[in-house]
Structure 1
Amino acid sequence: MDPHLLRTFVAVAEAGSFSAAAERLGYTQSAVSQQIAALETDLGLPLLRRRPVEPTEAGARLLEHAGPLLLRLRAARADVLRTAALPAHRLTLAAAPLALNPALAARLARGRAEQPRLRVRLRTTGRDLVAAQVAAGEADLGLTDGITAPSDPLRLPDSGPMTRIGVSEEELVVALPPGHPLAGRTGLRLADLVDARWLATPLCPLERLRDLVGDGFRAGLDYQGEDVHTVRNLVAAGHGLTLLPASAGPGVPLAAPRLVHRVELVHPSLPPGPAARLAAALSPSS
């Protein structure tokens, strides 16, 4: 299967239009049509309905594989190019919105102080994108996070060979609006909050809470952003509860189940140089 044709197929499926995909890719519409036809001929199945443009059942199955396949190809290219790259003094660190807590910010400061010539560009991105950006060579190092049991690794999307190091774990708190009846408690059980209204937000996915405890956790408001300040404002206004790491602000400690906010450093194989030294500085043993 030609990756070039697969990339065009994904663009058409996402855009829902041959012309929009052609504009995105910089091709003519005719070229896009020919590439889709070539892919369908190769597989012997129609992949897209034309009016409206949408995946067939076979096309939908192919889309499930396409993202990981194309990512692994980008990761392989980036990994090969790194072997010939000279040590850079400009690095990109991709971090999930809640990943760079005060302890890690302090380690980053010490790491930069040890390398005065190093210039770090910090890019905030969704936690599901951190590993993919590192694998594809769009970032040199990544900090991703999530809710897990103590010492348990995070569930990360398959991004190819990658070093993963747990660099931080801190307790979780239930963020409540002022005057909430539970605000004075010394601890809260998640099982006692399944019937409460919660914020549906990427920072604390309700699907993860349901995996841990069971059904419930109805959404009071669906917020698709990842700005912590906005989340806290929504909680304060009574739109729903959420879980946050203790360093992100006040709340009642989560007593059970025993869960933590875990941060992992992800990076490819690093030759000796600035990136490897900064990775060492961010690690707990530094």
Structure 2
Amino acid sequence: MNISPIWLKTFCTVCDSGSFTRAADRLGLTQAAVSQHIKHIEHVVGPVFLRQGRKIELMPAGRALLHYAAEVDAAAHRLARRASPDQSHAGAVKIATPGSSGLGIYAALLDLQGRHRDIAIHHRFAPTDDIIDAVLDNKVELGVVTQRPDDPRLRAEKIGIEPLELILPAGVKITEYQDLVEIGFIDHPDGPSMATRLLGQVFREFSGVKSIPCHGFSNQITLILEPVARGLGFTILPAFARKAFRDQSKITVYDHDPKVFDTLYVISRAEWPLSALAGTIVNEIRTVISAKQA
């Protein structure tokens, strides 16, 4: 099978963007050039996309080609790591973290980059499921997640724990579960899973987050506590995120028992060894998580 790496890159970009037009923009090509690359591929393997208006869907040959592209990328990673000199403080690394612990992790990695200017950190915040997908799809080399994935393609290493907190508007007191229902929930991307883990441990009456009125939603980690501070509801967040909020006087943490913790794992693809730089990054993450727990 003779498929040009340029065609393969175009195919993967179309898959990732979901559009010939967006793929052309990302690649700096014309849409006609993108279509031509795909035609070359289809001449080799057969139809790869089912086109329905503006929507495209992978056909069986397309799914097989996407799997082949991942194998090529994995082989390239292995070759680069075996052929390149050991550079533990130079190069680029892509990493995704939860918004909570990621606030401290990203700041620490920027400090590391400041000390070693040959390092380039490419970081993004995302929910756990999206981080796992990003590592599997080779969009990031490292991910920090709050659950150990069971996919054999991933390695996972425990790096610490992060306490979950029930956060209320300042001055608000609760004596029973019904008080929470009346206050209402401020949701966020990890809100339902965090609320289920904490409220299920603390309140016997809890029957699911859908039983609590939702009074708002934010996907920006630095803004989730804004409606709580304004008295509009409560939320569940890791202590790392709560401590980063700008005005602690406007929120309060409910003192509950038992305490609830999430375990943090750093994940990467299991098929190839970590680069020396990725090993440095993992050690830096472990250090910052340990410092926050002290």
Note the aligned Cα RMSD (angstroms): 4.7
Written as runs of structure 1 = structure 2, the 5 A alignment for 1:96-245 is 96=97, 97-100=99-102, 121-127=120-126, 128-129=130-131, 132=134, 136=138, 139=141, 142=142, 144-146=144-146, 153-155=147-149, 161-182=153-174, 197-202=184-189, 204-206=190-192, 209=195, 214=208, 216=210, 217-225=212-220, 227-228=221-222, 230-245=223-238
Alignment TM-score, normalising by the size of structure 1: 0.62
Offset at 1:220? 2.2
TM-score by length of 2: 0.61
Q: Quick check: 1:269 aligned with 2:273?
A: yes
User: Whole-Å Cα distance in 2 between the matches of residues 24 and 168 of structure 1?
Assistant: 38
Instruction: For residues 152-206 of structure 1, give each alpha carbon's deviation from its aligned partner in whole angstroms, at most 9, with x where no partner exists.
Output: x4348x6x84432111113211111123232xx6xx87x985786323323x242
Do 2:48 and 2:62's aligned partners in 1 also have CA atoms closer than 8 Å? no
Query: Secondary structure of 1:74's partner?
Result: helix
Q: 1:194 to 1:48 in 2, by over 3 A?
A: farther
1:29–1:174 Cα change, 3 Å: same
Q: What amino acid is the match of 2:253?
A: G
Identity of aligned residues (%): 19
Structure 1 unaligned regions, length at least 5:
147-152
262 and 75 in structure 1: CA distance in 2 versus 1, 3 angstrom threshold: farther
Q: Give 1:261 deviation, angstroms.
A: 2.5
Cα distance between partner residues in 2 of 1:64 and 1:239? 46
1:48 aligns with 2:51: yes
* CA 155–164 in structure 1, closer or farther in 2 if over 3 Å, else same: closer
Deviations, residues 68-103 of structure 1 (Å, cap 9, x unaligned): 87556534432331121212222547352322587x
Which residue does 2:15 correspond to in 1? Answer: 10
1:22-37 superposed matches below 5 A = 22-36=24-38
Segment drifting more, 61-70 vs 126-135: 61-70
Secondary structure in structure 1 of the residue aligned to 2:100: coil
Given that 1:118 and 1:274 are in contact with CA atoms closer than 8 Å, whether structure 2 keeps it comes out as: no
The 5 Å alignment of 1:86-105 reads: 86-88=85-87, 89-90=89-90, 92=93, 94=95, 96=97, 97-100=99-102
Q: Distance in 1 between matches of 2:72 and 2:232?
A: 42
- Partner residue in 2 for 1:149: none
The count of corresponding residues between Structure 1 and Structure 2 is 253
Point out where structure 2 has 5 or more consecutive residues left out of the alignment: 201-206, 244-251
Matched, 1:260 2:246: no
Which structure features the higher share of helix residues? 2
Amino acid at match of 1:24: R
Secondary structure of the residue that 1:244 maps to in structure 2? strand
Matching residue's letter, 1:78: H
- Determine helix, strand or coil for the equivalent of 1:98: helix
Q: Distance in 1 between matches of 2:172 and 2:239?
A: 18
Report how far residue 48 of structure 1 moved: 0.9
Q: Deviations over 1:233-271 (max 9, x none)?
A: 222123432211224335225546x74222222346236
Q: Distance in 2 between matches of 1:45 and 1:131?
A: 22
In 1: Cα distance, 2:47 partner to 2:168 partner: 56
Q: Give yes or no for contact 2:180–2:234 (8 Å, CA) kept in 1.
A: no
Residue 185 of structure 2 aligns with an amino acid whose one-letter code is: W
1:196/1:30 CA distance change after superposition, 3 Å: same
